[in-house]
Amino acid sequence: MGSIMPAWTSASRRVALLTALLGLAAVGINPAAAFSVASLDERFDNGLLMVDARVDYALTATAIEGLESGVDLVITQRLSLERPRWWWRDVQVVDQQRRYRLAYHAISRRYVLNRLASGESRSYRSLDALLTRLGRIEAWPVIGRDRLEDGQTYRLRFDTELDADALPRLLRTVAWTSADWQLRSEPRTLEVQP
């Protein structure tokens, strides 16, 4: 008659190891790279609220490896303008987003930045040059001054993230659970008065 003890010990070790791995995944390991909104500025130009921002984009080694292996990355930039209310939820005045596709062409050894809404495309010799350009947001038109109430304070909110849902289907499951693919910025807010 064989002993059950070694099998039980082996199974309990597997369960303990699996529990530890799931615990690390749930806590989330903060990757060395992330997105950070360095500055957010507003101005009125010819009766139009414009936003300028600087974002520091840093990709993880895993994301860079995926990009250079042919996986396109989609970056989403979101901008919203809200009118705060003390008695109810804030009023969403404007909610806009820009989506960009980052690609690598192995034959030409160039990185390509493509704005998805317009199809505008530019290529760069280095990933750093592409990320610097992507992080320089200038004159983003938000709303006409005439659509804002005088004396009212509004809250401008900006954030950006790597869109894990835009990754190839087989990679999505890994991206949803891996900190290497969970790249996003903390929201940056700014008060605006017309």
Inter-CA distances, 191 with 3, 39, 45, 109, 188, Å: 70, 13, 17, 43, 11
Domains (range + CATH), the chain: 34-192 (2.60.40)
- Please tell me the predicted confidence (pLDDT) of residue 191: 96
Residue 155: pLDDT over 50: yes
- Cβ contacts of 132 within 8 Å, gap of 6 or more: none
How is the chain classified by DSSP, letter by letter? ---SHHHHHHHHHHHHHHHHHHHHHHH-PPPS--EEEEEEEEEEETTEEEEEEEEEE---HHHHHHHHTT--EEEEEEEEEEE--SSSPPEEEEEEEEEEEEEEETTTTEEEEEETTT--EEEESSHHHHHHHHTEEEEEEEEEGGGS-TT--EEEEEEEEE-GGGS-HHHHHHHHH-GGG--BPPPEEEEE--
- Quick one: average pLDDT of 41-45? 96
Both tokens assigned to 164: 């894990």
- Please tell me the predicted confidence (pLDDT) of residue 34: 86
What's the pTM?
0.81
Confidence of residue 118 (pLDDT cuts 50, 70, 90): very high
- The side-by-side arrangement of strands in the sheet containing 136-144 is 35-45, 48-57, 136-144
Confidence of residue 86 (pLDDT cuts 50, 70, 90): confident
For all residues of the chain together, what is the average pLDDT?
87
- Quick one: average pLDDT of 79-105? 94
69-97 as b/e: b if 16+ CB within 10 A: eebebbbbbbbbbbeeeeeeeeeebbeee
- Please tell me the predicted confidence (pLDDT) of residue 30: 45
Residue 131: pLDDT over 50: yes
Residue 64: pLDDT over 70: yes
Residues in the chain, overall count: 194
